[in-house]
Every structure is written in structure tokens, then in C-alpha cells.
Chains A and B, each alone.
Chain A
Amino acid sequence: MEQSLLDVRNLHLYYATRKGVVKAVDDISLSLKRGETVAVVGESGCGKTSTARAIIRLLPRNVHLYRGSIILDGKNIMELDDERFRKDVRWKKISMVFQGAMNSLNPILKAGYQVAEPLMIHENMSKVEALKRAGEALRMVGIHESFIDRYPFELSGGMKQRVVIAMALITRPQIIILDEPTSALDVITQANIMNLLKKLKNELELSYIFITHDIALSSELADKVAVMYAGEIVEMADAETFYVKPSHPYAEKLMASVPTLRTDKQLDFIPGAPPSLIYPPPGCRFHPRCPYAFDKCMKERPTAVDLGSGHYVKCWLYA
């Protein structure tokens, strides 16, 4: 079996709040090979972004528990101290495109300077040289080099998104975490960005962790799909298998709720709301909303069931 580039095992990230401990990421494992894309899909508040933050160690102040192992190139990066992590991992190995690109650019710095900044920080490159490289990076994402002198407010949403992607690319990391990279864009721009991401992936042999709530969009890019529900990965499968036939009832429902153009299909939805992550339901966390739930689901937590060829499902239906 091919060596994984990134191997996340038993990752936990709990937050302490006034109301109790929020189990945002609860025992997650996933692996990523070179040039591969894992799509992490799920509803809002299911822990997708927290997973991304846990991987790149961008933690809020109120962390209650942060445990597990993240093995990158055979090295456990969980063991690095913060300063080493900042210098050796962030942007060198893993970079990230944030949710809402409009807001992830500093309004008072020029676009080129911001793209160049990681180079100046990580490679001690001179400003002139870094700006030259920034120009190249901008061209790579389809923006004219002259835009290095523009301020963010002079750019459109799509352009900003491209700038943010250029920023993530500039240090040539192996892995890019894309956290809802297109959620604030119109569909045409969304398509453009998706094509750009695909092109970059092929050209630079990048690995993506693609976080989205849009299961249809995820199919554009994904080689593997991880479905998250209430802080857990409930299904992990190859894209070919998954999009044809999801196994977990939640994934099934998720697929059924995707609208299709001009077909008279009754859109399915999942009754109820995502559960509280402070007091998750006992047993299977999906059981209150699951149409197939039976007694066992309410009492025992399902374990991952191997359906073969890397397809895992956490559901008592398959046990």
C-alpha cells in the first residue's frame, strides 16, 4: 500500500465553554496520499472547520482537549512545540484557504504584499524577490501580475479568492486545506475557482483537504469522501463508490437533498436539527433523526465497519 502523506489518527478537539465541553472533533481518523483530495462534507456545525483547525493547530483559547496524532511525512507533528510548528509546518507543509476569502485579506496591505508575506516569513526572502514570486503566483491563479499593487477593496470576490489561493500556494506546500473556498461566490465564479483548483492540483501534485457543506461541489474535486456528523466521521469512502451509493443513512439523506436541474424530484431533507455537541445523543449520534434507527442505535455507539477497499461506515445496519 502506498505510503500516506498525512495520517490523522484519533484526533480529538474539545472546547471548554460556560455551558460545558463541546466535543467538536471527537476521535477522527483520516489519511491522505500525495496528489489526493479528501472531501470533508457535513452540515454546518458538525466539526468540519474544527477538524481543519486541529490539523493546522489554529486553536482558540478555550481548548479543553487536543489529542491524537497527526503524522506528516512519517513525523508526528503533534509533538512539535508551537514555535517549531509555526515555522516548519504552517505553509511549509500545510497551508489553508479560509472560509470567506473576502475577510481573510488584510484591508490595509496590498494584495501582492500579502501573497508574498509567507515567503518573507518562512524563507527570509527579500521583499523585492518575494514580490516577484508573488507576481508569478498571481499569474498562476489567473490574475494579472500588475494586481500586486492593488488593495483588497479594489478586487472582486472571485479575485480575492484567487489571491487567497495564491497565498496558500506560494510556499509550495504539499497539502492545502480548503475550508469552504467557494461558499461566498456566485456559481460561475465558483466553477472558475473549482477548475483552477483542479488545474493546480494536477500541475503541482497538491493534496487537498476540501471542506464543504455542498456535497455536489465536493464531487468535482474529491478522490475520497469523509462524511462528518456531530464531530465524528460517519462514513469514509472512495469517491466512485460514495457518489454512486452512500452507505450511511445520513450520507444517503445528504445525497437525496441535492437538487437537480429541471427534474421533478421531491427534495428530501433530514428531520430535526444537528445534535448538541455538548450532550450528544447516546448510542449512534444520528439515531434521533435516522429513519432506520432501532433499539441498539440508541444504546451503543457504533464502531467503524470495514466494507472493503477503504470504505468504512459507522452504522449498526452494517455490523
Chain B
Amino acid sequence: MGAEGMELGFKGVLKELLAYKSGALGVVILVFLVALSIYTVVAIPYDKAIKLWRGEEEVWIENPRNAQPIWVKYWEYLRGRNLPETIKRDTSDSKQYGVYKSLRAIPGTNLKRLYIEFSFKYEYDDFPSEINIFFSSKFNESAPILRIAWEKPGGNKIELLDFIPRDKYDRLYLSIEHDVLKVLRSYVEEKLYALGKNPEVPLSVEKALFAVEDESMSSSLTVKPLKGTYKLIIEGLLFGKDSDVDARLIIYGKVYGMCGTDHLRRDLTIAMLWGLPIALSFGLIASLTITFLQLIIATISGYYGGWIDALIQRLTELYMILPFLPFLIMIAAFYKLDIWVILAAIIILNIFGGGIKSTRALVMQIKEYPYIEAARAYGASSKRIVLLYIIPKILPPVIPGLIGAVPGYVFLEAALSLLGLGDPFLPTWGKVINDSYRWGALYKGYYYWVLQPSFMLILTAFAFAFIGFALDKIVNPKLREI
């Protein structure tokens, strides 16, 4: 025999929740966020995420620096601009298109002649952000001598430099190579003089390499990228029988991944995704623990009264005026901060929070109900009365508060990270905002860097706030008319 018209339990609450627009919206967002966090934790395991986030530059070297997210490319595409993506050419990958390598021994000598030609089509409306070549060479006594040349679509060939790898693995940062810059400057000047123009603002390496060779070359503000097929040619002389050289050319684009990259070339997708389970669990754990501890303390205070009550109330009042932030800064000064320390600090600094006052008021009201007195009369212990009678009665009004408090703690964690009081290891949204702030993201126009974590924070807050509002209406029927 069930109670008709009254649905209890999770299913019933969910059904009622979905009846409210805000509740349904909140549930939809929350389900999405939870699904995304589960996907994240499964797809990028914690260790891997930490390695990717905290790894040395090696992990990220093939990513462009401060690249915009891919959706910016689509947006720009609609406006008629095709932003460059990263182009990679690698001789160790023989199947790749646009790679030619030949290595011939010169008869009668101990020498070998190397010829590598990378060719790629460049159809973008902006310059690449960086160009690097990575060498992996095998040699015994003498290192190979490599001559690197660049061929533009028109057939203009520029001898860039001679390069001798110092190690088995060496890299050539073309963009910051002084010799290359010098060669390119004189090349550009020559071209300009031929056109009767003077150079005004010198071009960077990438711009010079990809420039349309006309008057616009005179300034890096007017220069335009030349579309067509480019070639990078490496000719080399190798010493020793089994010597060999493989090269990898990377033309860094200006867009990368779903969320772009930061100043360390790190893929922000990692932080956006991993920030989610961290934020959700942090907010939920903090909110649940604090709410239930407050509930228990408030119940003890209200039910037992007397000196216990007085003690708890004075403590609560004391806690309510304690400044939270200086405490955390102090803790940060003395202990190594990680997410657990922050969580513990937040819980400890909040257990005697203002919530105790309102819950205590409820308890004091409920404990005078006749049925509580009846329970006392038939010998129910205080423990039983508190657990079976009082707590279930005060739980409904407490739950919406619990849900509503989650974004508060999520924001708190982000705010602490922004202030540099966050966990330095975990990829969290607050940490990303902190990085972007520190590296001048808004000043430099990397708005995605700030907006993405902010958007995620707001989305999370919305989910819980919407559910909280709807729950409040469910457990507080008086609010329904409003």
C-alpha cells in the first residue's frame, strides 16, 4: 500500500524538478557537465593529465604558442580569413606527402650526400607564428654540415644558413636565429630597393619568409602572406659510413585544438576538461561537508541548549567575523598548498558559519513539537530523536541551500587560484585565469584564454543555481506563487 499522490525519493524529486523550467535547465546542464567530467577522467587519466600539464616543454614543443582555439578559425573563415594551422613535415615518416629525402654515398670517399626537400602548400591569410626544425642525426667523429635553403612559390630561393648539429638531437629555431634574420633582412631590403622603396618596419623571420614580394614588404604592418607551394631544402654532407640525418619541419599555425594554447604551448583543452571534475568535486565535497557539519552542530546546539548552545553560538559569532582570506594566506605561507589543504582549510573555516544560526532556529522550533515530546515520553533517546525526528525534518530546507552553495565554493577555489593561493599542480580553471592574468592575456588580445575558464565557471554556477532555485520552490511551497 503506497501513498498515492506523494512521491518520495530521488525519482520523485527529479520528476518535480523537471517540472520547473529552471530545474530542467539546471539538470540538463549538470548532466552534461557530469558526463563531460566522466569522459575526461576516463579519456585523460589523472597521471596523464598531470604529465601533460606539468610536463617539460618537450611535451608541448610541437604546439604553437598562444594559439587561438579552432572555433576562432571557423569564425574568421566566415569573415573571409583563413587562419594558419600547424604544418608538420617529417623525413622519418616516409609515407608523408611533401617529403623527399635522398642519401647517397660519394664513391671512393667516406662521405655521403644528403638531400631533403620539404614542400607544403600555404593557403592561409595570416603568417605562421613560429618555424622550427628538429634534427636527429647519427654520426661518429664529425657532425654533418647542413645547408638550409627556402624556396618561395615564385621560385625565389633564399640561402638561409649553414647548420652543424652539435648533438644527436638538435633543433634549429628559425624564428629567433640571428643569422637567418640577418640574411632575410638583406634579402627584403634588396627586393625593396629594386622596387624603389625603403624598409620602414623590419619584418620578423616568419613574415619575411612568407611575404608577398611587393611594396607591402616595407613594413611588418602592411606585409601580406604569399599563397602557394613553399619548399625547405636541406643539403648536407655527412661523414662516416652509417651516418644519417632525419629532419622534422614544423610551421606553427595560429590556431590549435578546441581551446587554444597558453604561453607555455600547453593545450588549454586539458585544463578546461580537467578543471571540470576538480571544480565539481571540490564544490560538492566542500558544500556537502560544510552543510552537514553545520547541520549536526546546529542540531546539537538547538536541541541540547544550555551551556553547549551558548558555547556553539559564541563560537559561531566568532567565526562569522573571522576574515577568511588572511587566514588562507597565512596557511599558504606555512604549508605547501594543495587542493586538499585548501579544501580542509575552507571546511574548517566554515564549519561554524552563519548556516548554524538559521538551522538552530529551526531545530529549536521543531524540538517543541508535540510529537517530539511524545517520543521523549516513550523513552526515545536524544540520539534517536535527533537522528530520526529532527534531522529528517530540517533536511528539506537545507538541501536547496546545499546545492546553491556549490558554485560559491567553486568560485572560491578559482578566486584563490587567481590570487595565487591555488594548487600549483592541478590544471584548474582558476589557475588558467591566473596564468592568463599574469601573462597579460587581455592586453595582448588572447581573450579566449580568460573567457573559456570564465564561461566554464559560469556554466557550472548556472547548473547548481537553477537546480537550487527549483528545489527551493519544491521544498518551500510558499515560494510557488511568486
User: Is B344 part of the binding interface, using a Cβ–Cβ cutoff of 8 Å?
Assistant: no
User: Is B392 part of the binding interface, using a Cβ–Cβ cutoff of 8 Å?
Assistant: yes
A167 contacts across to B, CB distance below 8 A: 374, 378
Chain B: which residue is nearest A85 at the CB level?
A: B379
Is A56 touching B392 in the complex (CB atoms < 8 A)?
A: no
A108 contacts across to B, CB distance below 8 A: 392-393
Known interface pairs A103-B369, A103-B370, A154-B3; A90-B379 also in contact (CB < 8 Å)? yes
- The dominant DSSP class at the B interface is helix
Is B1 touching A121 in the complex (CB atoms < 8 A)?
A: no
B187 contacts across to A, CB distance below 8 A: none
User: Is A64 part of the binding interface, using a Cβ–Cβ cutoff of 8 Å?
Assistant: no
Which of B377, B384, B392 gathers the greatest number of chain A CB atoms within 10 Å?
B377
Contact flags (1/0) for A199-242 with B, using CB distance below 8 Å? 00000000000000000000000000000000000000000000
User: Is A10 part of the binding interface, using a Cβ–Cβ cutoff of 8 Å?
Assistant: no
Please list the residues of chain A having a beta carbon within 8 angstroms of any beta carbon in chain B.
56, 58, 61, 86-87, 90-92, 95-96, 98-100, 103-109, 117-118, 121-122, 146, 149-151, 154, 164, 167-168
Residue pairs across A and B with Cβ atoms less than 8 A apart, 13 shown, are A58-B377, A61-B305, A86-B379, A96-B374, A98-B374, A106-B375, A107-B371, A109-B388, A121-B380, A121-B384, A122-B379, A146-B1, A151-B6
B1 contacts across to A, CB distance below 8 A: 146, 149-150
Chain B: which residue is nearest A164 at the CB level?
A: B374
Supply 14 further A-B pairs (C-beta < 8 A) apart from A108-B392, A117-B375, A121-B381.
A61-B305, A86-B381, A87-B379, A90-B377, A91-B379, A96-B378, A100-B370, A104-B371, A104-B374, A109-B388, A121-B384, A146-B1, A150-B3, A167-B378
Is B377 touching A98 in the complex (CB atoms < 8 A)?
A: yes
Chain B: which residue is nearest A168 at the CB level?
A: B378
Which of A61, A117, A122 gathers the greatest number of chain B CB atoms within 10 Å?
A117
Is A56 touching B389 in the complex (CB atoms < 8 A)?
A: no
B389 contacts across to A, CB distance below 8 A: 106
Which of B306, B370, B371, B378 gathers the greatest number of chain A CB atoms within 10 Å?
B378
Chain A: which residue is nearest B4 at the CB level?
A: A154
User: How far is A100 from B374 in the complex, measured between Cα atoms in Å?
Assistant: 11
Chain A: which residue is nearest B6 at the CB level?
A: A151
Known interface pairs A109-B388, A146-B1, A151-B3; A121-B379 also in contact (CB < 8 Å)? yes
User: How far is A146 from B2 in the complex, measured between Cα atoms in Å?
Assistant: 11
Please list the residues of chain B having a beta carbon within 8 angstroms of any beta carbon in chain A.
1-3, 6, 305-306, 369-371, 373-381, 384, 388-389, 392-393
Chain A: which residue is nearest B392 at the CB level?
A: A108
* B64 CB → nearest A CB, Å: 61
User: How far is A151 from B369 in the complex, measured between Cα atoms in Å?
Assistant: 17
Chain A: which residue is nearest B389 at the CB level?
A: A106
* A88 CB → nearest B CB, Å: 9
Is B378 touching A121 in the complex (CB atoms < 8 A)?
A: yes
Is A58 touching B393 in the complex (CB atoms < 8 A)?
A: no
User: How far is A106 from B387 in the complex, measured between Cα atoms in Å?
Assistant: 13
B2 contacts across to A, CB distance below 8 A: 149
User: How far is A167 from B370 in the complex, measured between Cα atoms in Å?
Assistant: 15
* A271 CB → nearest B CB, Å: 33
User: How far is A150 from B4 in the complex, measured between Cα atoms in Å?
Assistant: 10
Chain B: which residue is nearest A119 at the CB level?
A: B378
A91 contacts across to B, CB distance below 8 A: 377-379
Chain A: which residue is nearest B382 at the CB level?
A: A86
User: How far is A160 from B380 in the complex, measured between Cα atoms in Å?
Assistant: 20
Is A96 touching B377 in the complex (CB atoms < 8 A)?
A: yes
Chain B: which residue is nearest A110 at the CB level?
A: B3
* A262 CB → nearest B CB, Å: 37
Is A104 touching B370 in the complex (CB atoms < 8 A)?
A: yes
Is A118 touching B379 in the complex (CB atoms < 8 A)?
A: yes
User: How far is A174 from B344 in the complex, measured between Cα atoms in Å?
Assistant: 54
Partner of B373 from the list A92, A98, A121, A122 (CB cut-off 8 Å) is A98
A87 contacts across to B, CB distance below 8 A: 379
Is A58 touching B378 in the complex (CB atoms < 8 A)?
A: no
* A302 CB → nearest B CB, Å: 34
B384 contacts across to A, CB distance below 8 A: 121
* A160 CB → nearest B CB, Å: 11
A90 contacts across to B, CB distance below 8 A: 377-379
Partner of A98 from the list B3, B370, B393 (CB cut-off 8 Å) is B370
B388 contacts across to A, CB distance below 8 A: 106, 109
Partner of A118 from the list B6, B378, B381, B393 (CB cut-off 8 Å) is B378
A61 contacts across to B, CB distance below 8 A: 305-306
A164 contacts across to B, CB distance below 8 A: 374
Partner of A104 from the list B3, B305, B306, B373 (CB cut-off 8 Å) is B373
Is B378 touching A95 in the complex (CB atoms < 8 A)?
A: yes
User: How far is A52 from B393 in the complex, measured between Cα atoms in Å?
Assistant: 28
User: How far is A109 from B392 in the complex, measured between Cα atoms in Å?
Assistant: 10
User: How far is A168 from B369 in the complex, measured between Cα atoms in Å?
Assistant: 18
* B35 CB → nearest A CB, Å: 34
Partner of B380 from the list A95, A103, A117 (CB cut-off 8 Å) is A117
Please list the 5 inter-chain residue pairs (A to B) with the smallest Cβ-Cβ separation, ordered nearest first: A103-B370, A104-B374, A90-B379, A118-B378, A91-B378
User: How far is A122 from B377 in the complex, measured between Cα atoms in Å?
Assistant: 12
B306 contacts across to A, CB distance below 8 A: 61
User: How far is A56 from B378 in the complex, measured between Cα atoms in Å?
Assistant: 10
Is A105 touching B371 in the complex (CB atoms < 8 A)?
A: yes
User: How far is A171 from B393 in the complex, measured between Cα atoms in Å?
Assistant: 27
* A60 CB → nearest B CB, Å: 9
Chain A: which residue is nearest B2 at the CB level?
A: A149
User: How far is A206 from B380 in the complex, measured between Cα atoms in Å?
Assistant: 23
* A90 CB → nearest B CB, Å: 4
User: How far is A168 from B381 in the complex, measured between Cα atoms in Å?
Assistant: 17
User: How far is A98 from B373 in the complex, measured between Cα atoms in Å?
Assistant: 9
* A96 CB → nearest B CB, Å: 5
User: How far is A164 from B369 in the complex, measured between Cα atoms in Å?
Assistant: 15
Is B378 touching A117 in the complex (CB atoms < 8 A)?
A: yes
Is B373 touching A58 in the complex (CB atoms < 8 A)?
A: yes
Chain B: which residue is nearest A170 at the CB level?
A: B378
B393 contacts across to A, CB distance below 8 A: 108
A100 contacts across to B, CB distance below 8 A: 370
* B285 CB → nearest A CB, Å: 28
* A62 CB → nearest B CB, Å: 11
B379 contacts across to A, CB distance below 8 A: 86-87, 90-92, 118, 121-122
